[in-house]
Chains A and B, each alone.
Chain A
Amino acid sequence: MSAVLETRALAKSFGGLLATRDVTFSLEKGARQALIGPNGAGKTTFVNLLTGVLPPSSGQVFLAGEDITSLRPEARVRRGLVRTFQINQLFADLTPIETLALAVGERLGQGKEWWRRLGAAEPMAREVDEVAARFGLGDVLDMRTDTLPYGKQRLLEIAVAFACAPQVLLLDEPAAGVPEAERRDILDAIAALPADVSVLLIEHDMDLVFSFAKRISVLVDGGLLVEGEPSAIAADPRVRAVYLGESGHG
């Protein structure tokens, strides 16, 4: 079994409303997969179920073959299921170095260490340097996060998730709202993610989806409509019907 992330008959209802219906989904190890769907298709709910922010009404989530349905969000992160956030949810008045040190430190189990200075542990500091270099953040490490250019903030978002050492990385609209000039950096950073990290891209932007994904899942009305190779998805009449009238360049 090479699926690293799997859901079985996952469902969530709010009151009478079914936001996620019976989703059985899998992500292969090393995947470059995209999850698309029109507004209101239930992508956000699905991601919240995967990450453990919401408990499902029924069904299960597996990570590397283990049932993680009942685990809290932070426990899932420690097992390597990590997400980025769509709108900016970084810690505005912390610096990138503090944010990265926090993420790396938590992963190394240093988060409860109250007796020593942040950064006193050398392997941690070294790793922060590596992550910062990888995402081109070396020259802004000591600035307040909310003063960074937007593109850098989005890079930090991905860098922080990367610092959690993900097996599975859920990228939620990583390039949304980024000015054209800075967009390239983000696409490059995503393309350069190590091959053993499995990536699920949740995205509206079809250019990005089709340039990145080897496989695409389409979510409509809370359920999986179809899955397949990009060319098959592009040709699928049901997908076309759903997206007809959506954004012009789709």
Chain B
Amino acid sequence: MKAADSLARRARWRWPEIVFWLLALAAIAAPAGKHLILNEIAILALFALSLDLILGYAGIISLGHAAFFGFGAYAAGLICKYATADPVLGLLLAMLLSAMLGLLTSLLVLRGSDLTRLMVTLGMALVLHEIANALPQWTGGADGLQGMAVGPLLGRFDFDLFGRTAYGYSIVTLFVLFVLARRIVKSPFGVSLMAIRRNSLRASALGVPVNRRLIAVYALGAAYAGAAGALLAQTTAYVSLDVLEFNRSADVLLTLIIGGTGWLYGGIVGAFVFKVLQDLLSSGAPQFWLFWLGLFLVVLALVGRDRLHGLVRRAMP
């Protein structure tokens, strides 16, 4: 049974991964002070992970991934205000709703070239932005959605000012969803996605139902993005229109690109680098950050992404 062994080896956890997650989870207990930014990193990482499922594994370019992030954020906000204050229940409901939105809109990105997909996803996010803006009685419009009273986590842990509970909540959510995503990409379903991304015609010649797989992974990515949005809404008790803005879609794309696509850890590495650099560079003038980010992208695109990432990737699966 050579094949069985070899396939089992392919999915095994390596020690750098285990060390990483132990550290990330241990950081919940670290001395107060950095939890707020760690929370932001965890949320961005989850958002980038959701894009990796769509772009890195299924090859669908999106310039409007904030649509699902923002939808999840508003969903979680409204659920908290009008349905239940329990964060975990709210998170699950927001994910479910985002998945349904993903399911519906997946039909729009099935066909077409990269360019069409890029425009359609961009348009989707803009449409949602306009809707949120036009319904201030629900979303608070430009003032943002206020008055969320998020209940204690699991009925026991109140969200504190220093963000310890928030980080714990986000990192555990990220971990659980990561393990699930890891299982999914190592499954037969996951391999069929990898095949579709590389050559969808060839994949269908092996009997892979390409469209159904794309719909499924798009809905999954939408659910993950919705979860990230919901985490942001719940841990900050506030949702503003910028959850749907183009900059957020661009940022998450850049985050993923910095970390590398198609290996799940790309989003996490990218989120860490992105947030830490943003923190350092925008302490001077905010324009500095944008400028260096732009320069980095230009250089990265000119030099080629693969060359840079080949180095990092060898250590992880």
Write the residues of chain A forming the contact surface with B, with a CB cutoff of 8 angstroms.
51, 53, 72-74, 77-78, 82-83, 85, 89-94, 97-103, 105-107, 110-120, 122, 125-126, 128-129, 132, 138, 141-142, 160, 164
Report the interface size for chain B: residues with CB under 8 A from the other chain.
34
Q: Are B188 and A105 in contact (CB under 8 A)?
A: yes
A138–B187 CA distance with the chains assembled, in angstroms: 22
The answer, yes or no, to whether B125 is at the interface (CB within 8 Å) is no
Q: Are B194 and A91 in contact (CB under 8 A)?
A: yes
Query: Which of B1, B11, B212 is within 8 Å of A117, CB to CB?
Result: B11
Q: Are A89 and B202 in contact (CB under 8 A)?
A: yes
A97-B206 in contact given A92-B198, A114-B187, A125-B1 (Cβ < 8 Å): no
The answer, yes or no, to whether B25 is at the interface (CB within 8 Å) is no
The answer, yes or no, to whether B78 is at the interface (CB within 8 Å) is no
The answer, yes or no, to whether B192 is at the interface (CB within 8 Å) is yes
A99–B184 CA distance with the chains assembled, in angstroms: 17
A117–B183 CA distance with the chains assembled, in angstroms: 7
Q: Which residues of B contact A113 (CB under 8 A)?
A: 187-189
Give the distance to chain A from B27, nearest Cβ to Cβ, in Å. 29
Interface SS of chain B: helix, strand, loop or mixed?
helix
Give the distance to chain B from A246, nearest Cβ to Cβ, in Å. 29
Query: Which of B190, B198, B209 is within 8 Å of A118, CB to CB?
Result: B190
Give the distance to chain B from A145, nearest Cβ to Cβ, in Å. 10
Task: Mark B193-205 against chain A: 1 for CB-CB distance below 8 A, else 0.
Answer: 0110011011011
Give the distance to chain B from A202, nearest Cβ to Cβ, in Å. 14
Query: Which of B192, B201, B209 is within 8 Å of A102, CB to CB?
Result: B192
Query: Which of B7, B189, B199 is within 8 Å of A114, CB to CB?
Result: B189
25 of the cross-chain contacts (CB-CB < 8 Å) are: A73-B204, A93-B198, A98-B10, A101-B3, A101-B7, A102-B191, A102-B192, A105-B191, A105-B192, A106-B206, A112-B216, A113-B188, A114-B188, A114-B216, A115-B184, A116-B188, A118-B11, A118-B186, A118-B190, A119-B4, A122-B4, A126-B1, A129-B1, A129-B3, A132-B3
A142–B282 CA distance with the chains assembled, in angstroms: 46
Leading 6 A-B pairs by shortest Cβ distance = A119-B7, A125-B4, A77-B207, A114-B189, A128-B3, A106-B207
Task: Mark B2-33 against chain A: 1 for CB-CB distance below 8 A, else 0.
Answer: 11101110110000000000000000000000
A82–B202 CA distance with the chains assembled, in angstroms: 11
Give the distance to chain A from B196, nearest Cβ to Cβ, in Å. 10
A90–B203 CA distance with the chains assembled, in angstroms: 9
Give the distance to chain A from B313, nearest Cβ to Cβ, in Å. 12
